[in-house]
Structure 1
Amino acid sequence: MAEAKSGLNITAIRDDFPILKREIHGRPLVYLDNAATSQTPTQVIDVIVDYYSRYNANIHRGVHTLSQEATEAYEGARIKLQEHFNARKPYEIIFTSGTTHSINLVANGFVPFLEQGDELLVSAMEHHSNIVPWQMLCEKTGASLKVIPMNADGELVMETFHSLLNENTKLVFCNHVSNALGTVNPIEEIIHAAHAVGAAVLIDGAQAAPHMVADVQALDVDFYTISGHKVCGPTGIGMLYGKEEWLNKMPPYQGGGEMISEVTFEKTTYAGLPHKFEAGTPNICGGIAFGAAIDYLNGIGFDAIAAYEKELLEYATERLLSIEGLKIYGTSKNKTSVISFNVKGIHPYDIGTLLDKMGVAVRTGHHCAQPIMDFYQIPGTVRASFSFYNSREEVDILVECIQRAVQMLS
């Protein structure tokens, strides 16, 4: 396995991921479902083991040594995320269980600020997690939800977006990168235009975070969300970045321990940021490992990751299009290493099932983005999503296995 043009030593990187040595149905695992969940390197696994082996304790409230060590590591991870995303203050980083939790937290927080006649804008290529909470918010407040359409290339129709914006627009939601198509959306333009009419903006960064670094101050975004399991961290941990002024205005999402200042039966006062939004015992180990995962990725370097994944995307696109009857959905010029495709006359589920029998893990279905599939009038796609630890040899195996599957199903 040769060194990539980007300079990454792919062999050494792959050695960091023990799961990549596994066999599936007697064949070496080819893991191409990174848009759903990335794999976890030994450097992060060791941090998890170390936490439970040496200093497992509840945080913030304890005076004993284990609690203090756990608190220091957990809050240290918050600072790592603050620095990585260039937030102004550590308390603008709220730990959540993931992007879905983060979006629901914001949706709940905006209930007091909306009324009938207000409008929310959402893009046509969102994950269900960035659609359903806003529909629920509209039901609670009487606000209406409007959709920014997309075109056949899987790009947002920005002319329509600008025409939809008006003084009634209060919130705009868009993913930074489409999980189903890989499209990188023009979020700078979206944020600037939304702010010009006084609207706040939430960007779902779950799919962008493994491939690029978002500078939240440079973007001037109001809210930005990611999930740890997309960036080589554990599941069940995520991050909401919010501007301090918005986080101070929004009411708490949950009540309980940690998020309070004083509790009496007559009245409760709430703690300051970030604890106001972090009720109960958090996923302490998850937060610490989340920070370790960010350290790991920064150690490799996001510029090198982006360059190598661009190589993989171009190579995989060329190889896949050599298969007769294969159609790729999402052909934006600006996209990450995700390829959604179908083969004419064959259901995506059937291809995915046969690929699994040959050791190749891909995702099939609508990828929690059913409106996109409805736009293309298809039941779903096969999605191959690549990470920096994938190789050209794995692309070749994917192509060979698809060809075999097509022969079996034709």
Structure 2
Amino acid sequence: MASDNPYGNLLKTLDIGGKTFKYFDLPSLGPKYDRLPFSMRVLLESCVRNCDNFHVVQKDVQNVLEWEQNQRDGGVEIAFKPARVITNIVSLVDLAAMRDAVQDLGGDPEKINPICPSELVIDHSVQVDFARSPHALKKNEEMEFERNKERFQLYKWGAQAFSNLTMVPPGSGIVHQVNLEYLARVVFAGELLHPDSVVGGDSHTTMINGLGVLGWGVGGIESEAVMLGQAISMLLPKVVGYRLVGELNPLATSTDLVLTITKHLRSVGVVGKFVEFFGPGVLALSIADRATVANMCPEYGATVAYFPVDGRSLQYLAQTKRPKENIEIIEAYLRATKQFRNYNNPEQDPVFSEVIEFDLSSVVTCVSGPKRPQDRVSVTDMKKDFQECLTNKVGNK
């Protein structure tokens, strides 16, 4: 936060658990803030906090605040600085190459470090050499370390060489699971409180939207630019409000729900848009359900599928052993900035580009495929669909 931030007058203090924190009081920007979708409030906070009239200018703040009008006009560009990056080995190699170049030029290579908090989860591609044994997992992991010795040595070096880079070792889980259960802050609880947001090199980074963390996948060059302190240039998106009502049939699974919503959103057309979920039906979904819906975002083409933080989100943080004091800070900050969602309160519903309603009770047991998730067929129609497929022309089915 630069000392010459033109929005320094919005800084206020918040006392939580005997500690004093600073934060930008976004609601004081006026009534337009209350009409913004919750996902846009995250973008707005980032623009306000990072406004230096160089990377992020005051016009970016005004463009987000005027979202209701600008999303109608289209083509309005803003600069967005995510709170963190989930990176990969390619970025690690590039950072190492930059250090070599700086050293060759007579500079200090130790100065080359990520500026934006960066995390690298070492997903592992275990080949099943051992099975049907209590020690199979351990033996397979040992074989993986042997096959990928040089790669893991590079990871080990990077973990020690770079500051502001967190490395999660292999065997801890896949990146999106680790992001949900461990890495996600929801709110950064330093001296200055601000919402968590993330970009990653994987299109399924959107899974974190299920916990109320705004995030999506970007290209490798974009993610490296963010690591090095640059802003992402993006068009201000339309935000589709997806209102959930009703409850799932007890026989319907999360998979049935996701396949049905995926097919529905593909038919509606949400490519390049933000989808934000609201309505009383959201309360019927666990964080696992929400994350699974958000994870399928690339399949229906939206940029994000956002579930704002509510009480169930906080319960999940407690379930995954986040410190109690952190959860108290998260709730207090989000309530102070009107980013904490009560899905049963329609007075909190913001303005959306359009609203689509979906009844959860309409979800039935179904299957999909063989390749495309949108080729969903209810189990009751399986026999008819299978018979038709036998005589269909060669194609996706």
Note whether the superposition's TM-score is higher than 0.5. Answer: no
Q: TM-score, normalized by length of structure 2?
A: 0.27
Greater RCO, 1 or 2 (C-alpha within 8 Å, sep 6+)? 1
